[in-house]
Chain A
Amino acid sequence: MVLADLGRKITNALRSLSNATVINEEVLNSMLGEICRALIESDVNIMLVKKLRENVRASLDLDDMAAGLNKRRMIQSVVFRELVKLVDPGVKAWQPVKGKSNIIMFVGLQGSGKTTTCTKLAYYYQKKGWKSCLTCADTFRAGAFDQLKQNATKARIPFYGSYTEMDPVVIAAEGVEKFRQEGFEIIIVDTSGRHKQEDSLFEEMLQVSNAVSPDNIVFVMDASIGQACESQARAFKDKVDVGAVIITKLDGHAKGGGALSAVAATKSPIVFIGTGEHIDDFEPFKTQPFISKLLGMGDIEGLIDR
């Protein structure tokens, strides 16, 4: 499971507190070191990790604290609080409304999995009885329309796109308008991959967004991304109103810690995860249950209550 390794390491580190006979600076630092190490190895942004460490240190004064169990409990809950802050942006995930046209625009770096995930999401809603469709506003990548078309056809999802129109803004507007008039409920707009270093690509993204006024913008990210994630995610958020994150390729070996950086940078929750190349390799993601499971809250509570 996602980040499971990270969860285990953190739980182990926290448990080391219970095993120590006295809790002094050394024990605390070694535990924090272990946790930070686990986070860094999972690709969480190093600045965020340093911040977490500082925050924990700042809210703990060992000399001032009561002895024994209380001390352990306090440390554990401070650490836990900081970890939760990393995964939980504190905002509720946007939900589509039945019976109306919900427009969802996908954005992200090149090759992150947008086109594949668009179909997965449309299919997910279609299976639940929503009227779903896809619009291909990627006129840049070779074969992009064929890709979406083949995926959509296989899943029997209506789609819109063009081999001749070169302006993604025009296609996006046309597609969304057409499907809106036809009463579609989930209208997904796929866009080209782009990166913050190329202004014109970011400008284009803004124009597509202005043209279709999406109800939600999803930032799609690859689970294997490293330290560049934070600044890219932040740049996307600065340009358009990103409201959700989807992490792809979690079927691989990557721990997906970049997702935590993306959550922090976009202040948006993770809403789905991709776990394979097939259309149903896709799972909804809920922050709260994830935290309890992943960060081993069950375990931690167990520790605290003892």
Chain B
Amino acid sequence: VFNMFKGLVGQKTITAEAMAPVLDKMRDHLIGKNVAADIADQLCTSVATKLEGRVLGTFSGVTSTIRQAIRDSLVQILTPKRRIDILRDVMEAKSQNRPYTITFCGVNGVGKSTNLAKICFWLVENGFRVLIAACDTFRAGAVEQLRTHARRMAALHPPENHGGVKMVQLYEKGYGKDAAGIAMEAINFAREQHIDVVLVDTAGRMQDNEPLMRALSKLIKVNQPELVLFVGEALVGNDSVDQLTKFNQALADFSSMENPRLIDGILLTKFDTIDDKVGASISMTYTTGQPVVFVGTGQTYTDLKALNVQAVVNALLK
């Protein structure tokens, strides 16, 4: 029936010229939401390529067609291609009598140690025993910071509530020592003590700092953690792309391995500080193709959430 009217309404195809002003606005809009400029460009370009020459739906204009296409792209970028199910994987490792290890890495001050503590709390609440490995042996107070968290969580989950076993312990060797070595000792300790999970805290480092990036690569290479989490803050702007690219690059280049361990997932922190400027989530997932495994939404142990893709996309397009 609709075919009959086609000629009457006039088939309109979408041209590059018609799209250009709308896409320009869209790009600025996304940048205003803190999507990195390059990524906003690439997104718009790919939508343009996809739509050019297409027949416009009878009841839709160029603007709404573009909006929908952008929405689809955003949803796709944020939707994990691969599910990371930590609780399941911890269970599996446990059944094989080996500890499950997560390494936290990222630039300075983004929230590695705090969110490590939140994940520790979450694991303990799920009945797993955790060992925190204090492998930031550089930054002043880093060890005491973790000790405080370990003590607090141990108080929330005392052995008497858990059949006499310590649910949270700290493995530390003070400052100035080799981080990779401490991580290894901690993992061995966990294996001997039948501790389920080892959470490895590392020092913050700038992605361009070659000696420090080499040291991180070594830590990951020699310890082969089950999960490498990149911790990035939702506040970060255009640097997000460079951070992730260079962390991955360093893990690949400095490992001298055929199949090096790269970043497996992203922990996006300080999500409570950015209102609707949620674009960093796009920049980070687009750059790596890896999912946002957790979102940090505050400074207490329970401020750890899963990413709500629809809510983020709505905020981006609002």
For residue A19, CB closer than 8 A to chain B, the reply is: no
Mark each residue of chain B from 110 to 147: 1 if its CB lies under 8 Å from any CB of chain A, else 0. Answer: 11011001000000000000000000001111111111
Closest partner residue, chain B, to A251 (CB atom) = B206
Q: Do A224 and B239 have beta carbons less than 8 Å apart? A: yes
Residues of B within 8 A of A253 (CB): 206-208, 239, 242-243, 246
In whole Å, how far is A250's beta carbon from the nearest beta carbon of chain B? 10
Question: A1 near B: Cβ within 8 Å?
Answer: no
| Residues of B194-213 contacting chain A, CB below 8 A | 206-209
B148 touches A228 (CB 8 A): no
Q: How far is the CA of A181 from the CA of B107 in the complex (A)?
A: 40
Instruction: Please state if A141 and B208 are interface contacts (CB–CB under 8 Å).
Output: no
Encoded as 1 (CB less than 8 Å from any A CB) or 0, chain B from 227 to 262 comes to 000000111111110110010000000000000000
Taking the closest CB of chain A, its distance from the CB of B248, in whole angstroms, is 14
B295 to chain A minimum Cβ distance, whole angstroms, is: 15
Q: Which residues of A contact B279 (CB under 8 A)?
A: 226-227
Would you call A142 and B148 a contact (CB within 8 A)?
Answer: yes
User: Contact: B111 with A111, CB < 8 Å?
Assistant: yes
Q: What residues of A have a CB within 8 angstroms of the CB of B58 in the complex?
A: none
Q: Give the complex CA separation of A297 and B277 in angstroms.
A: 34
Question: Which chain B residues border A111 with CB–CB below 8 Å?
Answer: 108-111, 233, 270
Number of interface residues of A (CB under 8 A): 49
Q: Which residues of A contact B208 (CB under 8 A)?
A: 251-253
Q: Is A94 an interface residue (CB 8 A)?
A: no
Contact A147 to B237, CB < 8 A, known contacts A113-B109, A195-B273, A251-B206: no
Which residues from chain A contact B107 at a C-beta distance below 8 Å?
A: 224, 249, 252
Which residues of chain A have C-beta atoms less than 8 A from B111's C-beta? 110-111
Known contacts A46-B32, A227-B277, A231-B275; is-contact A147 B141 (Cβ 8 Å) = yes
Q: Which of A37, A149, A249 neighbours the largest number of chain B CB atoms within 10 Å of its CB?
A: A249
Interface residues of A in 149-186 (CB under 8 A from B): 149-151, 154
Q: Counting CB contacts under 8 A, is A238 at the interface?
A: no
- What's the Cα separation between A158 and B277 when bound, in Å? 41
Q: Given A143-B148, A146-B145, A151-B140: A226 and B37 within 8 A (CB)?
A: no
**A254 to B243 alpha-carbon distance, docked (Å):** 9
Contact residues in A for B37 (Cβ distance below 8 Å): 37, 40-41
CB distance from A178 to the nearest CB of B (A): 22
A277 interface residue (CB < 8 Å to B): yes
B27: nearest chain-A partner, CB-CB: A40
Of listed B113, B138, B206, residue having the most chain A CB within 10 A: B206
Query: Contact size class for B?
Result: 35 or more
Bound-complex Cα distance A195 to B270 (A): 9
Q: Are B109 and A150 in contact (CB under 8 A)?
A: no
Q: For A109, A227, A258, which residue has the most chain B Cβ atoms within 10 angstroms?
A: A227
Is the Cβ of A46 less than 8 Å from the Cβ of B149?
no
- Can you list, as one digit per residue, whether each of A32-64 has a CB less than 8 Å from chain B (1) or not (0)? 000001001111001100100000000000000
Given the known interface contacts A46-B28, A142-B149, the answer about A226 and B109 at a Cβ–Cβ threshold of 8 Å is no
Bound-complex Cα distance A277 to B108 (A): 9
The answer to whether A228 and B273 have CB atoms under 8 Å apart is: yes
Report A-chain residues with C-beta under 8 Å of the C-beta of B206. 249, 251-253
Q: Tell which of A143, A144, A231 has the most Cβ of chain B within 10 Å.
A: A143
User: Is there a chain A Cβ closer than 8 Å to B274's Cβ?
Assistant: yes
CA distance A258 to B277 in the complex (A): 14
Q: What residues of A have a CB within 8 angstroms of the CB of B139 in the complex?
A: 147, 277
Cα A107 to Cα B270 with chains together (Å): 17
User: A227 touching B31 by the CB < 8 A rule?
Assistant: yes
Taking the complex as formed, is A222 at the interface, i.e. its CB lies under 8 A from any CB of chain B?
A: yes
User: What separation, in Å, do the CA atoms of A135 and B170 have in the docked complex?
Assistant: 29
Write out, one digit per residue, whether chain B residues 75-118 have a CB within 8 A of any chain A CB (1) or not (0).
00000000000000000000000000000000111110110010
B residues near A251, Cβ cutoff 8 Å? 206, 208-209
- Cross-chain contact A195 with B242 (CB below 8 angstroms): no
Contact in complex: A249, B31 (CB < 8 Å): no
Nearest opposing residue in chain A for B207, CB measure? A253
Residues in A neighbouring B238, C-beta threshold 8 A: 41-43, 226, 254-255
Whether A197 is near chain B, meaning CB under 8 Å from some CB there, is yes
B277/A228 in contact, CB under 8 A? yes
A109 to B236: give the CA distance in the assembly, Å. 12
Q: How far is the CB of A108 from chain B (nearest CB, A)?
A: 10
How far is the CB of B141 from the nearest CB of chain A, in Å? 3
Given A111-B108, A142-B113, 11 further pairs, Cβ under 8 A: A42-B238, A110-B109, A142-B145, A143-B145, A147-B141, A150-B141, A195-B273, A197-B272, A198-B272, A224-B236, A228-B235
List 9 A–B pairs whose Cβ atoms lie within 8 Å, in order of A's numbering: A42-B238, A46-B28, A111-B270, A143-B144, A195-B273, A197-B275, A224-B235, A226-B277, A254-B238
Of all A-B residue pairs in the complex, the 10 with the closest CB atoms, nearest first, are A226-B237, A147-B141, A143-B145, A111-B109, A142-B148, A146-B144, A43-B237, A150-B140, A143-B144, A252-B206
